[in-house]
Structures are given as C-alpha cells and as structure tokens.
A and B are shown apart, each in its own frame.
Chain A
Amino acid sequence: MAEIFEEIIKKIITKEELIFFLEEINLLEKSIFIDVEIPLSEKLKGKVNEEFRSWLEKLEKEKFIPQSPDQQFSFFEKIKKDLLEVPQIRLEIAFQPSKEFLLRIRKWFKEEINREIILDIVVNPKITGGAIIEYQGKYLDFSLAKEITSIYG
C-alpha cells in the first residue's frame, strides 16, 4: 500500500491535481459494483483520464487491487483518506509557475520539512514578487509588495 501511495503522491503536486485525482476515484468507486466481473480499467475506458486508467491497469496486472468489490471500495477509500491527510502548503506567488518550478519547490519543501506535501498555488500579481506561505495555520509574508510598503510606506 505504501508503495502505491508513494507512486500516487509523486504524480500529484498541486491541490488542483489532488482534486482532479479524487474526482477520478469517486467516478471509479461508482462503477465498482456494476458488472463486477469486468476489470475496472476496462469499465472506465473513455470515462476517466487515460493516464489514470493506465495506472489502474498497471495496479490490476500487479494484483494490487483486491478481488471483491467491497474490498476494492475500501482500498480506494483508504487511498482517498491518505491523500487528504497529506499537509498542504498554500503558496501565493505573482506569476503562473511552470511544472519544473513546482517540482523544484516541492523538492525543496520535502527536504526542509521531511514529509510529502501538496502545493496550493494562488497566483496574485499584486504581491509583485516573492511569496506568501501558509502552512498549518502559520502565515509568512515574503512578498516584494510588503518590502516595498515597508520602505516607502
């Protein structure tokens, strides 16, 4: 299970991606109890993102997914629960970040706080530069706008 979770969390960087992934799982859960003899990856063809479907197929081949529908449901519920427990860091920045930038940021955070995180990116050009970071209720303003205000009032 830990192996699967690690694989999932590698794919999810931002809160949007997390929401998207959870929606795909919700869709999957709805089809678990319909045509139980057909594999899930087959049933979901054309209904979910292809990347998600191929990941599902891989899990089925490696026999990670349990056989009975009830167990399957609990399996995906557990994934959802674990994902929602991953701490989120709200990052307010002045520009639209690239994928590489987000990966670098996540890597830096992971090294600093030694745990997996999900980034909640908010683009706010008003902060001019720098970033405002929120983590578990803590609020740190490293924005350029704040610096400018403190200098010029």
Chain B
Amino acid sequence: MDEFKNYLEKYREVGYIVSLSHSIAYISGLPSLKLMEMVITESGKIGITSGLGQKSAEILMTDVENLKVGERVVKTGKELEIRIGEGLLGRMINPFCQPIDGQGPIRGKKEYQKIKRGALTFIERKRINKPLETGVTMVDLLVPIGYGQRELVIGDAKTGKTTFLLQSISSQAKKGVICIYVGIGKKDTALKWVEEYLKNQRILDKVVIIHTTPDDSPTLIYLAPYTGMTIAEYFRDQGKNVLIILDDLTTHAKVYREISLLLKRNPGRDSYPGDIFHIQAELMERAGNIKFNGKEVSITALPVAETLENDLSGYIQTNLMAMTDGHIFFDINEFRKGKRPAINTFLSVSRVGNQTKTQIEKNLADWIRKKMIEYQRAMEISQFGAELPVETQKTIELGQRLEIFFSQAPVTIIPRELQIFWVGLLISDFWKDKSLMEMKAEVLKILKEYQKGNLPKLPEEIEKIKNLEHLQFLIKEILAEVEKII
C-alpha cells in the first residue's frame, strides 16, 4: 500500500481496472504509461504493460487473485526489475526472486536488474573454445558442448532429459560453475525431485532454482526464463561461468500463445503469435561467451524442447533448433529398448562443440562414430537370423562394448580423462578375451577406484596426449597399475 501511495505521489497519475480477462487486466487512465512498464494495483499486485490502446491499456497481471474491476492502478516508471544477489544460490525462488522454499528471506547484498535486456553485441562475443563436461560419456565424446554454447535438449516426455541436465549441473557445479535451473510450468513433484537430486549430490548451494507451476499465472510462467537469464547475466558479470537450464521452452511457447490469444493478437501457425520466434531467440541470444576484465566468461544455455513420438518437425521445435548451436536428441525408441541415456547420436548435432575438442578427442569421436555405424548395420543384418561371418560378429561385439561405456546411471558422472582412458583401453584390446559382463564389471571398478583417488596422474597424462598412438602408448605404460586395481 505504501509503495502504491509513493508511486501515486511521484507520478500523479492513476488508472482504474475496467475489465479482467484471465490474467489480463484492461485499465483506463495513466496517460503517460509506456510499453513494458510495470504497474502496481492498490492491493499490491504487479502487472506489465503489454499493449496501449486509445481508451485502455492491456496489462499482464502476475497475480489476479481477489483483483476487482474498479481497483486503482499506478505506474512505476520502470520496466520489471528483480533484486539479485549472491544469496540466491541454494534457493528456490519465483520469477520475482522471492523465496518459495520456506527458508526465510534472501540474505546479503542485492541489486536491481531489468529482466528484459538486449543481447550481447557481435564485438563483445568471443569464439567458443573451452569444452563443457557434462559427465555423460556419450555427449562428451560424440556431441560435445562448449562453454557459451546454446545446445537444445530435445525429446519426448520421460526419456531422461532432466536426468541428463541434472548430471550436467552436477558435473559443472563441482567445477565451480554457477548453475541455474528454470522450471517452466513444472509440477511441484518434478521440481521436488530436482531439488532432492541436487541435495544428494551436495551441490544445491551452487544452484539457483526458479520454479513455476502450471497453477501459476501465465504471466509468471512466461517471465521465468527471462528471470533465469537475468540472474545468469548477474553472475557472469562477476566473472563466473554460468550454466542455465530452461526446462522447457515448448511449455513457455504454449503459455505465450495463451497470453497472445487472450490479448486478441493475430494467431499464426498452430495459433502461435507471429513474434514467438523473436521472443525466444531474443532470450537465447543473451547466452554466449564474452571477454570480461581480461578473462573469458560465459553463459551456456541448455534449453529443453518436448516432442511427441519423436516428431522433430514441430513448429516450436524447429524454431528452437534454428536459434541454438545444435541439439541432443533423446529418442523414445532407444529409451524403449532400455538404452540409458536414450540419446540418438546419429540425429544429434553440436555445431560449435567440436572446435573446443583436442585432436585426440576428435580422432576418438571419429573412430567411435565409424564403429557405431558399422555396429548398427551389422545389427540390421543379424536380424535375418543367418550365421554371421567372423568379421561381422567382431563388429557387433565391439559395438556392444562401446555401449557399455555409454550406458550410465542417473547419478554417475564420468570425468573426461576417464572417458578417453576407457576408449583407449578398448582400442588397446584390454578386454579382448573378456566377456561383456566381465568388461562391464571392470569398467565400473575402474570408475570406483578412480573416484577413490587411484590413478591420480591420469588427468595430467591424458592432457599431454596428441594422437591415438600416443594414447595406446600411455595405456601400455599404466596397464600394470590398472590390472592391480581391478
């Protein structure tokens, strides 16, 4: 109420709600109101000006509970701003940065930031040149991501997208990267699971969770990714690398469609408004790699898109593919076959990730991709039931061995050096005379021992490797040590 009075005194303008339609309020008065300006009602509800007519203005209300026609409204003279500070880390908040986790107020120094800002200019941007480890072998080896990249995570519901995203958060948070998870219209249970996962991994204090549920006002859900990006920019401007997850932008598009239809905007394809590409591309453009105080800092964005029965040709899905630097495709068919993570590497793309990789990683990826294609072809032939030539049997066996590396539990994070080392062991015929089961057990044993602190020089040694021959040489050197631990 005090805030209302202060703004009334400051601007000496008042408006009245003349009608309400879902989350849209039409107001009269306020002659100098501007587009995107924030307004406050007498009962303290916040709205954003989305349209100006001759007799009334359209306001997107963030809360319409108990709002009445005839209620007074004042202008604030500013665009929607949120208060950001270090205290947001480890907290679950709404798009206004208000805590919703029952842990009390956000502490520490805070500063106001506009939630809708322009993207970085071309000159400010730097080439993406550092690899971002997700801790998921299949992605890190075959669809690599770099710091500052925008990589779409696309797939049907319940195919393990969120699990992969949480693995990426876990891997990055442990390296000191600030992670932001934006749940766009997600159910409470889904967000609770995310929170639990992060708590169990002991990284919650490095993550900000922005939570909106389907019950929230469409305006609030629509604003969630912008808030996430603004928080990401705040931490980036402090010289920290940030990873932001936008889960998911298809829901965001649907919410924006709902708002636009209520605002009587002309519907376009699939009833989405004409500016749907613009509003999401504008958001994606805010991510990237920049030079800040002589140091390269980045916002890496992993937006999520949901498909229906593997249909990648949907309107929003193709839009998102066009505005990102590649996509990781979670295939429902692979998921049904029991593959975890259910990533279809043949249909996944990373346009800038490869430039962050070393020569050895590129060579390994080429070798794996070639072997996987051969394996897939051999598997198709094997379906005819005929007796297979020895060469084909070998191809299938190698493919199956590679799949052991790629099969990964939701809580397992595999470091980059270990991913390369495993493939090195396979190339060096380390498991030549062992069964698949034995190999699987040994792979897990190596991982367990590595996590315990065995093979301490491995990261350093892997860093020095230039080509495949060099890798095989290193394997020979530390083979005895490996055999000892397994």
Contact = CB atoms under 8 A, between A and B. Distances in A.
Interface string A126-153: 0000000010111111000000000000
A137 B9 contact: no
B368 interface: no
Contacts of A136: 29, 31
A138 B9 CA distance: 11
Contact of B15 (A137, A140, A141): A137
B267 to A, nearest CB: 32
A141 B9 CA distance: 8
A137 B31 contact: yes
B265 interface: no
A134 B9 contact: no
A138 B8 contact: no
A139 B13 CA distance: 5
Given A138-B31, A141-B12, 13 more contacts: A136-B29, A136-B31, A137-B15, A137-B28, A137-B29, A137-B30, A138-B13, A138-B14, A139-B8, A139-B13, A139-B14, A140-B12, A141-B9
Interface size class of A (residues with CB under 8 A): under 10
B312 to A, nearest CB: 50
**CB-based closest 6 A-B pairs:** A137-B29, A139-B14, A137-B31, A139-B12, A137-B30, A137-B13
Please indicate which of the listed interface residues A137, A138, A139, A140 has the most CB atoms of chain B within 10 Å of its own CB.
A137
22 contacts: A134-B14, A134-B29, A136-B29, A136-B31, A137-B13, A137-B14, A137-B15, A137-B28, A137-B29, A137-B30, A137-B31, A138-B12, A138-B13, A138-B14, A138-B31, A139-B8, A139-B12, A139-B13, A139-B14, A140-B12, A141-B9, A141-B12
Interface string B12-52: 11110000000000001111000000000000000000000
A8 to B, nearest CB: 23
A137 B57 CA distance: 12
B226 to A, nearest CB: 29
Interface in A31-71: none
Interface of B: 8-9, 12-15, 28-31
Nearest to B14: A139
A57 to B, nearest CB: 36
A139 B42 CA distance: 15
A98 B141 CA distance: 86
A137 B14 CA distance: 5
A28 to B, nearest CB: 27
Nearest to A140: B12
B16 to A, nearest CB: 9
Contacts of B14: 134, 137-139
A131 B414 CA distance: 73
B205 to A, nearest CB: 43
A137 B30 CA distance: 5
Contacts of A137: 13-15, 28-31
A134 B9 CA distance: 13
Contacts of B31: 136-138
B374 to A, nearest CB: 73
Nearest to A136: B31
Nearest to B28: A137
A136 B9 CA distance: 16
Contacts of A141: 9, 12
Please indicate which of the listed interface residues A136, A138, A139 has the most CB atoms of chain B within 10 Å of its own CB.
A139
Contacts of B9: 141
A141 B13 CA distance: 11
A134 B8 CA distance: 11
A141 B14 CA distance: 12
B36 to A, nearest CB: 19
A140 B28 CA distance: 17
A134 B14 CA distance: 8
Nearest to A141: B9
Contacts of A140: 12
A105 B30 CA distance: 24
Contacts of B12: 138-141
A138 B75 CA distance: 11
Nearest to B29: A137
A25 to B, nearest CB: 22
A141 B12 CA distance: 8
Contacts of A134: 14, 29
B49 to A, nearest CB: 13
A138 B13 CA distance: 4
A139 B31 CA distance: 11
A86 B15 CA distance: 18
A134 B29 CA distance: 10
A136 B14 CA distance: 9
B53 to A, nearest CB: 13
Contacts of B29: 134, 136-137
Nearest to B15: A137
Interface string A58-99: 000000000000000000000000000000000000000000
B92 to A, nearest CB: 39
A138 B12 CA distance: 6
A66 to B, nearest CB: 30
B19 to A, nearest CB: 16
Contacts of B13: 137-139
A139 B16 CA distance: 12
A139 B9 CA distance: 8
Contacts of A138: 12-14, 31
Contacts of B28: 137
A137 to B, nearest CB: 3
